[in-house]
């Protein structure tokens, strides 16, 4: 497969997954705000902080309000990680590989982009945000279902799944971090009914509430974090994402599980092993925010290694030796 084609498939999936997860960021905040005291109803700045793009936000907006944050994270074409920018990038990548993906996949991505750029989208997102962002999430879930049944599960499919899972692992860690930033200014809420309500809202925002209750029944902060970090079976859990991303990577390269033939496999395998042998007690001893921040940095090195291994252009070695010129 041409590296250009693999690159487009990989980033098409990363961008559509990113758009869904930005919608989840906003949705978790909407849920968290419902049960907070009146004086804390406007906790929107943490949502920008956890994305790592606070400086970009302050260049355009004086204050982090509900409307300004939704505008920035959803409709700002100048912000590279907004929903509309991600779907535009996904659409352009999909356009360049129409011969590789199914026509149904192209139609799904195109419809998602047209939906968020429609004339009434901005007003709808502000006036009735929950249905709007639910539809954004469903757009990507619809695309994933179409990909599963209309695309051959070969090399291109594995690149698509690899991009999706790397992106999902990163964003699950950031959604967990939203909870940390929301509670940080008022530690007295930890352990109170507000705290438990917010952890339940967090689970709901990643579509995990029912699966969590089947496993643990009662809401417990430690068990919620453990479920989203270390569960092997839930599709949005970080450990699940890394296990299956590594499997996709080995299917692309043909190398055996437990070995590595390139830097991407080495870094991903090492990070997956760290998560395999970690536990929630260790994460809380380090501090959940610090643990997640360290994980995000390591995952970024995995993404860089994937780029260098499969997509970067390297100078060809033509066997020419240097000679002295007098």
Predicted pLDDT of residue 35 = 63
Percent of the chain whose pLDDT exceeds 70: 88
Would you state the torsion angle of the CA atoms of residues 2, 4, 9, 15, taken in this order, to the nearest 10 degrees?
160
Contact call for residues 301 and 267 (beta carbons, < 8 A):
yes
Mean pLDDT throughout 174-194? 65
Token digits for 209?
Answer: 């509430």
Q: Please tell me the pTM assigned to this model.
A: 0.88
Predicted pLDDT of residue 320 = 46
Predicted pLDDT of residue 192 = 63
pLDDT at 326 over 50: no
Predicted pLDDT of residue 158 = 97
Mean pLDDT throughout 248-267? 93
Which pLDDT tens digit goes with each residue over 97-139?
A: 999 999 999 999 999 999 999 999 999 999 989 899 999 999 9
Long-range interactions of 147-150: CB distance < 8 A, separation 24+: 147/101, 147/102, 147/105, 150/102, 150/104, 150/105
Predicted pLDDT of residue 48 = 85
Least confident of 8-22, 144-158, 190-204, 244-258: 190-204
More confident residue, 30 or 43: 30
Predicted pLDDT of residue 295 = 96
Nearest to 23 by CA among 131, 120, 117, 111: 131
CB atoms within 10 A of CB 22: 25
Which sign does the torsion angle of CA 280, 282, 284, 286 carry?
A: negative
Nearest to 233 by CA among 241, 225, 223: 241
Separation of alpha carbons 142 and 57, rounded Å: 31
In whole angstroms, how far apart are CA 319 and each of 283, 316, 322? 50, 9, 10
Predicted pLDDT of residue 325 = 37
pLDDT at 177 over 90: no
More confident residue, 288 or 302: 302
pLDDT at 184 over 60: no
Predicted pLDDT of residue 250 = 96
Contact call for residues 86 and 137 (beta carbons, < 8 A):
no
Structure confidence at residue 315 as a pLDDT band (50, 70, 90):
low
Mean pLDDT throughout 277-301? 93
Mean pLDDT throughout 224-252? 96
Mean pLDDT throughout 164-190? 76
Separation of alpha carbons 187 and 322, rounded Å: 65
Which pLDDT tens digit goes with each residue over 15-30?
A: 999 999 999 888 877 8
Predicted pLDDT of residue 300 = 96
Indicate the average pLDDT of the chain: 87
Separation of alpha carbons 290 and 178, rounded Å: 13
Mean pLDDT throughout 158-176? 94
Predicted pLDDT of residue 30 = 81
More confident residue, 124 or 313: 124
CA-based angle 22:24:29, to the nearest 5?
105
Which pLDDT tens digit goes with each residue over 51-105?
A: 778 889 999 998 888 899 999 999 999 999 999 999 999 999 999 999 999 999 9
């Amino acid at each position: 497969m041409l590296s250009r084609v693999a690159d487009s498939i990989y980033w098409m999936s990363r961008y559509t997954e990113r758009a869904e997860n930005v919608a989840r960021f906003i949705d978790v905040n909407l849920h968290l705000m419902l049960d907070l005291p009146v004086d804390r109803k406007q906790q929107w700045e943490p949502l920008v902080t956890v994305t790592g793009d606070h400086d970009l936000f302050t260049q355009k907006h004086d204050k982090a309000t509900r409307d300004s944050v939704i505008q920035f994270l959803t409709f700002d074409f100048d912000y590279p990680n907004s929903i509309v920018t991600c779907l535009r990038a996904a659409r352009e990548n999909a356009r360049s590989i129409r011969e590789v993906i199914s026509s149904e996949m192209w139609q799904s991505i195109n419809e998602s982009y047209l939906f968020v750029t429609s004339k009434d989208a901005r007003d709808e997102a502000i006036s009735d945000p929950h249905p709007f962002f639910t539809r954004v999430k469903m757009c990507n879930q619809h695309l994933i279902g179409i990909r599963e049944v209309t695309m051959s599960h070969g090399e291109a499919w594995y690149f698509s799944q690899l991009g999706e899972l790397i992106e999902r692992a990163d964003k699950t860690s950031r959604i967990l971090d939203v909870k940390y930033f929301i509670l940080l200014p008022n530690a007295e809420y930890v352990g109170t009914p507000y705290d438990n309500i917010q952890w339940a809202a967090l689970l709901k925002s990643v579509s995990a509430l029912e699966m969590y209750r089947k496993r643990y029944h009662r809401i417990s902060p430690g068990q919620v974090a453990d479920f989203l970090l270390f569960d092997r079976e839930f599709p949005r859990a970080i450990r699940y994402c890394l296990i299956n991303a590594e499997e996709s990577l080995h299917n692309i390269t043909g190398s055996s599980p437990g070995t590595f033939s390139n830097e991407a496999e080495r870094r991903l395998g090492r990070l997956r092993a760290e998560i395999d042998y970690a536990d929630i007690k260790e994460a809380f001893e380090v501090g959940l925010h610090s643990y997640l921040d360290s994980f995000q940095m390591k995952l970024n090195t995995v993404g860089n290694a994937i780029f260098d291994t499969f997509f970067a252009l390297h100078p060809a070695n033509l066997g020419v030796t240097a000679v002295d010129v007098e």
